[in-house]
Homo-oligomer: A and B are copies of this chain.
Amino acid sequence: MEYTVQKLAQLAGVSARTLRYYDEINILKPARINSSGYRIYGQAEVDRLQQILFYRELGVGLDSIKKIVTAPSFDGAMALREHREKLLEKKKQLDVLITNVDKTIALTEGRMKMSNKEKFEGFKKMMIDENEEKYGKEIREKYGEDTVEKSNAKVMNMSQEDYDKVTSLEKQVKETLAQAFALGDPASDIALKAAELHKQWLCFYWNEYSKEAHAGLAQMYVDDERFTAYYDKEQPGTAEFLRDAIHIYAGMKK
């Protein structure tokens, strides 16, 4: 059986252009060229194309595929193992990305208007963490502890104070909330104190504060499992308790 470009393309489910390209880069040459200059492929080429597509399906680059299919003695397993590592790396990166996107979505969904500054803080922190992980040891060995510390401080120095404040507030909210939860009354002074601290914390992220928005966010803490999980981590029911306290604090429960 012999095939022209179009026929083979249809058979294999690729475009004719792809076949011409494969010809061009010497990865799949036609069996022969007929008198009119048409590319004619035979069974061997069909088989070879299958191989190529097989590896392509695995995400292997064409140049690597070339090595694999042109040199039959080439260690395909090694190439695949290397490729596997790359895939795993990519997947890890994707997981990080998805997590971050999730976080960002969670923030924007809460109608929080995170200032650019804060956005960058998180971003920089992320970068620092990554740099630490990747190059931390190497750099520390080369330049000593001090330089690294200074470098990190420099990257972070823009509003380190703000960051510290918000972190501290977050901690206070959690502690106060835990105490209030132990008492069990969302209308108690300490519960309202927790709500107040939560408002302060919130004001680091929101440009304008309103009782309605605050109450809405509190409700979302209960409705959205991501937030619920965060608040209920220590004590199940905390998210609900916080919502009630905030609703009372915001005067939403009459």
Residues 49-70 of chain A: 1 if any B CB is under 8 Å from the residue's CB, otherwise 0? Answer: 0110110011100000000000
Bound-complex Cα distance A51 to B118 (A): 10
Residue of B nearest to A101 (CB): B84
How many copies of the shown chain assemble into the complex?
2
Interface SS of A by simple majority: helix
Q: Are A87 and B94 in contact (CB under 8 A)?
A: yes
Q: Tell me whether A123 and B91 are in contact in the complex, defined as CB-CB below 8 angstroms, given that A59-B97, A102-B84 are known contacts.
A: no
Is A47 part of the binding interface, using a Cβ–Cβ cutoff of 8 Å? Answer: yes
The minimal Cβ–Cβ distance linking A119 to chain B, given in whole angstroms, is 5
Is A100 part of the binding interface, using a Cβ–Cβ cutoff of 8 Å? Answer: yes
Determine which of B80, B94, B126 lies in contact with A91 in the assembled complex, contact meaning CB atoms within 8 Å. B94
Q: Tell me whether A105 and B80 are in contact in the complex, defined as CB-CB below 8 angstroms, given that A13-B127, A54-B119, A127-B13 are known contacts.
A: yes
Q: Are B120 and A50 in contact (CB under 8 A)?
A: yes
Q: Tell me whether A87 and B98 are in contact in the complex, defined as CB-CB below 8 angstroms, given that A76-B108, A81-B105, A109-B77 are known contacts.
A: yes
Residues 147-176 of chain A: 1 if any B CB is under 8 Å from the residue's CB, otherwise 0? Answer: 000000000000000000000000000000
